[in-house]
Structure 1
C-alpha cells in the first residue's frame, strides 16, 4: 500500500475510541502512523475541536487529523438512485475539500477521515444482507442483474485505500457474492486499486466536471484529466466503470465547458469502456450553512455556488432547507445537459438524473 501524498494527508494526531486497539485493523492503521499523537475519545462522533473548528482554518484538520472508531450500526438503507442499498460505511469524512460537499453541509465543518476498524463485521453484514435478497427478480435503473451496494456514501474510498486495507477487503468480499456488486464514487486516482482484482463485481463512478470549474470547486482532488486517464486503467483491472457528472454547476458558458469535457471523454475512452458506459447527472444542491463556512475559507467558490438569482429554497428529505435551481428552469437545463451528452456520447446511458 502506497501512502497518501503529504500534501493531502500528513497525520499529526489520531483520535481513537478505546476499543480500536482490540481490532487488527485498528492496530495496523496505528502502526502506519507511529509518530502521530494519540488522543483517546469516547466517541468518533463527539470531538468538539473537529466538529466546531475555525471556519477560516478549514483544511488543517483534513490534512493532519485521523479518527479511528468502531461502526456501531450495521443497518442498510434502500436507495434506488446510485445503488439499491446504502451499506454500512467503512469510513466517514474525507481529506478532500469540495466546496459543495453535502457531508460538510450536514456536519457543519471540515470532517476529516474517520476509519472504522471492525471491517470484518461490516463485510459479514453485507454478505448476510445480499443472501437475504436472493436473485434480483427484474432489472432496474441501478443494474439489470445485481443488487448494488453503495460503499462510500460519506467519503471517498480511493483516498481511504491509502490509509487502510478496508477498501481492499470490501472489493474482495464482493468477488464472492453471486448477486451483488459494490459501488463508490471517487475524485481521487489511487493506482493501488489496480491490484485489488475486482472481477467486475465493484463499480467505480468517476466523478467529473469541467476542468476549469474543478480547479475552483474540487479542492485537493486529482485533476480531471488524470481522473479521465485512469478510467481505462481501472476498467482493464476489472472494475465496472461509470461516470458521475456531479454536481452540474450552472454559469454563463456552461454548455461549452461541458461540451469540451464530453469531447475529451469521447477521445480518451476506448471502445471497451464505451460499450458498458452509464452516467449519473446530479444538479447542484447548496445551503445557507455551507455558504457561510465557504465565505470564511473559500469565498471565490461561492461566486458559482451561491446564485439566489437562479436558485430557490427547498426542504430536503431529511428536513434541511437547501438551495436548488428553480423549478421549471432546472428541468429545462437538465434536458439541455442530456442533449449535449447524447450528441457527443450517444453510447453513454443516463442511469440516473436529478
Structure 2
C-alpha cells in the first residue's frame, strides 16, 4: 500500500487530450496545473493505442498510473438505474485510476494500465443530475439504498478521492448534492484525501471506505491508503458532514479469513466514535475475478494471483455485461456470505448490511 499524499504518488508528465478539452474552463485549469507535461492530442479518450490494448504496458503498469493523465469530454449523460449500492449510476466524471488494485474490473473494459481519465464538462454532468433529481421529486418510501434520498453513485469507474488531487470536479459534485433536494451522492474509495474534509457536504454525500484484512490488502490493494488510515478517517469524515459507510469489497476467501475479518471488525469498533457508529452501514461484495485479468496480473504482479486465482473454489459465470467471470461457487458462496454476515453481526451489531452480493 502507499501514502497517496506522498511526493511522487502522482507525477504527471504526459497528458493525452481530446480536441474539445481546452474549450472548457475545467480543462484549462487542469492543464495549467501541469505546465511542463507533454500534451498529445487524441481523437477519443477511449482510443489511445499507446495505452489501451497495448500489451507492452503490462510490465510497466505502475509507471503509467503515476505519470499519465487523459482528458476528455463525457458524451453520454444518462442515469442508469441500479437499486443495489445506489438508486442510479450517474455519468462518470472520470474513468480509470492512479491506484492499481489487482482485482479491479476497469482494466478488463478499457485495456491494461488504464490511468486516470478526467472529463472536463463537469457542469454538464452536474446539470444532468440536477434535472433528473428534480423530475423524480421526493423519494416515496425508504429502501435498502437510503431511507430519505435518491442516491447517485458518482464514482463507478474510478476513485474520487484521488481524482480530487487533480481537479475540482469532486468539490463541484459535493456542492451540487448539498444544494439539490432529495438527492445524495455516493462513492467508494480506497484512499484517504483529507482535502475533502473542507468540502462542506452537509450530509448529502456518502463516502464508502473499502476495507479488507491488512495482510491481503498489502498484496492486492496496490498504491492505496493503508487500512489503518482508512479506518482512522471515518470519524473525521463524519465530523466533516459526510455520511460514512464501509464497503467490505472484495471479500477474498482463504484459510484463516474468518479470524482476519474478526480482527478487522474489532479494529473498526475500537476506532469509531458513538456518532460514527450510529450512522454506520455496510456493503459486502464477494470477489469476482476474470481469466484475462489473471493473465495480465501474472505479468506485472503474480503474487496477487495467489490470493485471487483459486479455481478449486471458483466457477465461471457470465456477467450482465456478457463477460466470462470467475466467482465463488454457487451454494458455497451463500454459506460463506452467511458466515461473514454472522461474524459482522457478532462484532459490529450496530452495523446494518445495506447490500450483499
TM more than 0.5: yes
Task: Give, in whole Å, the separation in 2 of the partners of 1:65 and 1:50.
Answer: 9
Task: Give, in whole Å, the separation in 2 of the partners of 1:214 and 1:12.
Answer: 29
Identify the residue that residue 231 of structure 1 maps to in structure 2.
234
Number of residue pairs matched by the alignment: 352
Distance apart, 1:4 and its partner CA = 5.5
Q: Does 1:147 align with 2:150?
A: yes
Identify the residue that residue 18 of structure 1 maps to in structure 2.
19
Give the counterpart of 2:272 among 269, 274, 280.
269
Q: Does 1:340 align with 2:339?
A: no
Give the counterpart of 1:282 among 285, 297, 310.
285
Tell me the secondary structure at the aligned position of residue 132 of structure 1: helix
Tell me if the contact between 2:51 and 2:111 (Cα under 8 Å) persists in the aligned partners: no
Task: Give, in whole Å, the separation in 2 of the partners of 1:216 and 1:338.
Answer: 24
Distance 1:50 1:4, change over 3 A: farther
Task: Give, in whole Å, the separation in 2 of the partners of 1:107 and 1:119.
Answer: 21
Tell me the secondary structure at the aligned position of residue 185 of structure 1: strand
Task: Give, in whole Å, the separation in 2 of the partners of 1:107 and 1:338.
Answer: 34
**CA distances 1:68-104 after superposition (whole Å, capped 9, x unpaired):** 0000110110000110000001111000000000111
Tell me if the contact between 1:4 and 1:159 (Cα under 8 Å) persists in the aligned partners: no
Identify the residue that residue 195 of structure 1 maps to in structure 2.
198
Tell me the secondary structure at the aligned position of residue 51 of structure 2: helix
Task: Give, in whole Å, the separation in 2 of the partners of 1:251 and 1:105.
Answer: 24
Give the counterpart of 1:102 among 98, 102, 105.
105
Identify the residue that residue 40 of structure 2 maps to in structure 1.
39
Tell me the secondary structure at the aligned position of residue 20 of structure 1: helix
Task: Give, in whole Å, the separation in 2 of the partners of 1:276 and 1:162.
Answer: 27
Distance apart, 1:58 and its partner CA = 1.2
Distance apart, 1:60 and its partner CA = 1.6
Distance apart, 1:276 and its partner CA = 1.3
Please show how residues 85-124 of structure 1 align to structure 2 within 5 Å: 85-124=88-127
Task: Give, in whole Å, the separation in 2 of the partners of 1:259 and 1:332.
Answer: 17
Q: Does 1:309 align with 2:312?
A: yes
Task: Give, in whole Å, the separation in 2 of the partners of 1:98 and 1:6.
Answer: 20
Identify the residue that residue 30 of structure 2 maps to in structure 1.
29
Moved over 4 A (4+): none
Q: What is the RMSD computed on CA atoms of the aligned residues? A: 0.9
* TM-score (normalizing by structure 1): 0.98
Tell me the secondary structure at the aligned position of residue 206 of structure 2: strand
Tell me if the contact between 1:108 and 1:290 (Cα under 8 Å) persists in the aligned partners: no
